């Protein structure tokens, strides 16, 4: 059984040089004006729920070069992320769901997620 899951696009993030995560992809669609107002409201509500219910890892707050994975046991979080996948599909944004046990060195962990440092687009 895989321990970690990440939803990511096929375009690299500027800072990490690693594929953008689902939140970054949705924010880019919204900020670029590609989402309808209804979809933008839907995404903002999803994002708000995560802000209120999922701790923001300290390395993310510090804008360190990290990526995050959900733990596969965090079924509520994964389920709450599902509508974002429908948005990506609606706006023709390809994404991949990565399930793995191999994530490099974990520098943050809570009950729902982990953060891993990246350098030059690779987990370290």
Under the banding of pLDDT at 50, 70 and 90, the label for residue 114 is very high
- Give residue-wise pLDDT tens across range 89-109: 999 999 999 999 999 899 999
Under the banding of pLDDT at 50, 70 and 90, the label for residue 5 is very high
Please give the tally of structural domains in the chain.
1
Nearest Cα neighbor of 6 from 66, 46, 59, 51 is: 66
Nearest Cα neighbor of 1 from 95, 71, 66, 104 is: 71
Angstrom distance (rounded) from CA 87 to CA 92: 9
Residue 31, token pair as written in the block: 């900020």
Quote the pLDDT of residue 68: 97
- In this structure, of 45-49, 59-63, 98-102, the range with the lowest mean pLDDT score is 59-63
Percent of the chain with pLDDT over 90: 94
- Give residue-wise pLDDT tens across range 81-94: 999 999 999 999 99
Range of the domain at 18: 4-123
């Amino acid at each position: 059984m895989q321990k970690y899951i990440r939803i990511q696009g096929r375009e690299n993030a500027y800072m990490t040089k690693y594929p953008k995560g689902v939140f970054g992809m949705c924010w880019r669609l919204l900020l670029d004006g590609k989402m309808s107002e209804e979809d933008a409201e839907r995404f903002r509500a999803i994002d708000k729920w995560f802000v209120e219910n999922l701790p923001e890892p300290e390395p993310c707050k510090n804008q360190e070069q990290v990526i995050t994975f959900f733990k596969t046991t965090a079924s509520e979080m994964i389920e709450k992320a599902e509508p974002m996948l429908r948005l990506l599909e609606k706006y023709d944004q390809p994404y991949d769901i990565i399930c793995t046990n191999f994530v490099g060195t974990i520098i943050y962990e809570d009950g729902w997620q982990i953060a891993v440092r990246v350098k030059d687009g690779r987990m370290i």
